[in-house]
Amino acid sequence: MAEASTNTICIIDDNDLLRKLYKVIFKKKGFATVEFATAIPAIDWLKENLDSLFCVTCDMMLPDKNGREVLEAIRKMPNGSKLTVIAVTSVTPENPQQKFVEELGFDGFLAKPIDANTFVEQVVEFTQSKKSS
């Protein structure tokens, strides 16, 4: 399995094309990535590598768990409350930012389809905001 560093972003999304797109976009901005198509292997990997990550982007609808379950598993890990976890999903409730951040506990929300021109900057902004609070 890949080794993480503080410039590593963990991508959890069951869509192969989107994972590849995110990887390319992040790489162009100097980030390394670790990608998972399902939640359970991602959670297992995070248990060993959480402290060395920049952040996690997580789809809300995965084959084996939903994004909320992934978030809950991360928050139960040592230092899990310090890690930025961003929901990236096509599930868009009436007021998505408020719902995902305030009600579900994510540190940010990005709607699919993502804007490739601003995606990394938005992820960085959410992460810096979390680290400065």
User: What would the pLDDT profile of 66-108 be if each residue is shown by its tens digit?
Assistant: 999 999 999 999 999 999 999 998 866 666 667 777 788 899 9
- As its CATH architecture, domain 8-132 has 3-Layer(aba) Sandwich (3.40)
Radius of gyration of the CA atoms of the chain, in A = 13
The stretch 34-58 carries a mean pLDDT of 97
Q: Which residue has the tokens 């080794």?
A: 3
Q: Which residue has the tokens 């994004």?
A: 67
Q: Are 108 and 126 in contact (CB under 8 A)?
A: yes
**Comparing C-alpha atoms, which of 112, 105, 97 is closest to residue 17?**
112
What is the predicted pLDDT for the residue at 92?
A: 66
Q: Where are the domains of the chain?
A: 8-132
CA angle 68, 73, 76 (to 5 degrees): 125
Judged against a pLDDT cut of 70, whether residue 3 lies above it is answered with no
